[in-house]
Structure 1
Amino acid sequence: MLSKRLVSTAAICLLLGAGTAACGDNKDSDKAAAPATTAAAAATPTATPTPTVAKLDTDKLSAQELEQKAKDALAGATALRISGTMADADGKMEMDLSMDKKGQCLGTVTLPGMGKIDIIGDGKASYLKGDPTFLAAMAGQTGDKNGAQVAELLKGRYLTGFDSDPQMKMMTSFCSLSDFSKQIVDGKTDKAEKGVAGNVNGVKTFSLKVTDSSGEQSTLQIATEGKPYLVQVETVSAKDGNTTINFSDFDKPLTVQAPPADNVIDFSKFKAQVKGA
């Protein structure tokens, strides 16, 4: 249903973000030790210092060092949002998912020719719900007498309890920030070259051109102010088409609630009902 390469592409592309610097408040000096001031001077407002924003030294650092800084920033991220289009021999998969290291996840994945799937992960269980297009496509691919029943059984309902099933687990494996982070941080590129400064998605960036072990080339856009998160990944493939992945909402707390119980069907019960039909 979902090609392994599409999932792999999603994982490899996970790096990014718009970094921000934390700003501390400056305390007033001890009033007891402060010299007396006139009323006019006291009435003059104190200027607020401009906060210092960390900047990436793209001139001094090598391409490999810049890439490593982006990986290190990702490893420390507690949450993020990933969105964009991933190209594969099967077509283009669209993704818009927010996830964190607590195991929470919320968003949608649209598969080529298959429709859209809503995904919810509350840190304890995962839930999937296909739209009418997805259910119709699934029933059509099944091609047996149970196809229509399966679609009707799942209509408007979330499927859960499948995390131990290898095939179903694949549907949510790319929704784990910890898994994504590990694959990116541990991943190796054969070649990295420095690019140019730019502005991507409202973030000041510096580009890197990287080549992986298969010879595929991608352009990484790394934030140059604040934490050096990767803001965007673009891969151009004459065979499969273009892939563009954007990342945002780094470290933004995620609140997820499981769907209502009457809107959920357990995977084991679902299989039993289909088998008994």
Structure 2
Amino acid sequence: MHHGRRTLAATLAALGASSLLTGCLGLGSDPDAGTNGVGKLPAATIEQKAKAAAAGATAVRLAGTVVSGGHSYRLDMRLRGNGGVGEVSTKGDTFQLLRVGDDLYLKAGADFYGADDSDKNSKAAAEKLNGKYVKVPSTDPSYQQFSGFTDKKTLLADLFVLDGEVKAGDHRKVGGTRTIALDGTKGGSLDVSLKGSPYPLRYERAGGGGTLTLSDWGQDFTLAAPAKSEVVDYGKTVGK
């Protein structure tokens, strides 16, 4: 009996310790406590609210990798309704993009344009473009692809491409902000903020298509075309 009493005492002590740990460490607590509450909603509703928040924001910063047309691009772009500005890297080349309205500008070093030291004409043409903004004609094949990197509406629409049925996943964190994951049953994941507006904060494309983080939601910025002295006309300069 004495042994039994000790066992009961030990059990009660253990239960007390467990309760203490639960209270102090928050084990078993509501993961949505103190949040905006979207984590408790059905996946379709969370997705709808995230879309609305993203569409309603005046601006956003988007950074990470995108695989497009068989090529991998690293982006760091600031986007708003009428255009965007930022840096793109691919295959060891880095260039800047700036779009204001329908006007797209690209700025890069001479190496980007394939300067050939053995070809005087090629080298001279590349040097004319070195460090200058090149206005890309809308008829150029690269216009459509590169302008897409500066288009807030287009890039944000891609965030909501999750393969298969969309389900609510784990509670996580992105940059210290608590999130709820939306997972496609066949691939892709989107982290939605549980603080303030339910903005998308991270997107992982299915099939290794890249990962993007989104920040600075609603933090507007000035977007203006470069001075004429900083621009060369692509159509009249390249190849000369």
Structure 1 residue corresponding to 2:214, chosen from 230, 240, 247: 247
Structure with greater helix share of residues = 2
- Higher RCO (C-alpha under 8 Å, 6+ residues apart): 1
Change (3 A) 1:131 1:270: same
Give, in whole Å, the separation in 1 of the partners of 2:122 and 2:138.
23
| 2:62 counterpart residue number | 82
- Does 1:104 pair with 2:83? yes
Give, in whole Å, the separation in 2 of the partners of 1:104 and 1:89.
22
| 1:210 counterpart residue number | 184
Structure 1 residue corresponding to 2:199, chosen from 205, 213, 229: 229
The count of residues paired between Structure 1 and Structure 2 equals 206
Amino acid in the other structure paired with 1:95: L
The answer to whether the 8 A contact 2:111-2:126 is kept is no
| Percent of pairs with identical residues | 28
Change (3 A) 1:133 1:204: farther
Segment of structure 1 superposing worse, 143-152 or 120-129: 143-152
**Structure 2: tracts of 5 or more residues without a match:** 1-33
The answer to whether the 8 A contact 1:75-1:182 is kept is no
Question: Secondary structure at 1:245's aligned position in 2?
Answer: strand
Question: Secondary structure at 1:58's aligned position in 2?
Answer: helix
| 2:36 counterpart residue number | 55
Structure 2 residue corresponding to 1:72, chosen from 52, 58, 67: 52
| 1:156 counterpart residue number | 131
Alignment of 1:1-277 (within 5 A): 55-59=36-40, 61-87=41-67, 90-101=70-81, 103-113=82-92, 115-123=93-101, 125-135=103-113, 138-139=114-115, 147-160=122-135, 162-182=137-157, 189-211=163-185, 215=186, 217-235=187-205, 237=207, 241=208, 243-271=210-238, 274=239, 277=240
Give, in whole Å, the separation in 2 of the partners of 1:118 and 1:202.
29
Q: 1:91 Cα deviation (Å)? A: 4.9
Give, in whole Å, the separation in 1 of the partners of 2:73 and 2:157.
22
Question: Secondary structure at 2:65's aligned position in 1?
Answer: strand
- The structure having more radius of gyration, on CA atoms, is 2
Change (3 A) 1:244 1:147: same
Aligned-residue Cα RMSD (Å) equals: 2.9
TM-score (normalised: structure 2): 0.73
Amino acid in the other structure paired with 2:155: F
Question: Secondary structure at 1:178's aligned position in 2?
Answer: helix
Q: 1:132 Cα deviation (Å)? A: 4.3
Give, in whole Å, the separation in 2 of the partners of 1:249 and 1:262.
31
Give, in whole Å, the separation in 2 of the partners of 1:184 and 1:221.
10
Q: 1:222 Cα deviation (Å)? A: 0.6
Give, in whole Å, the separation in 2 of the partners of 1:245 and 1:68.
19
Give, in whole Å, the separation in 2 of the partners of 1:128 and 1:89.
19
The answer to whether the 8 A contact 1:205-1:221 is kept is yes
Give, in whole Å, the separation in 1 of the partners of 2:166 and 2:119.
50
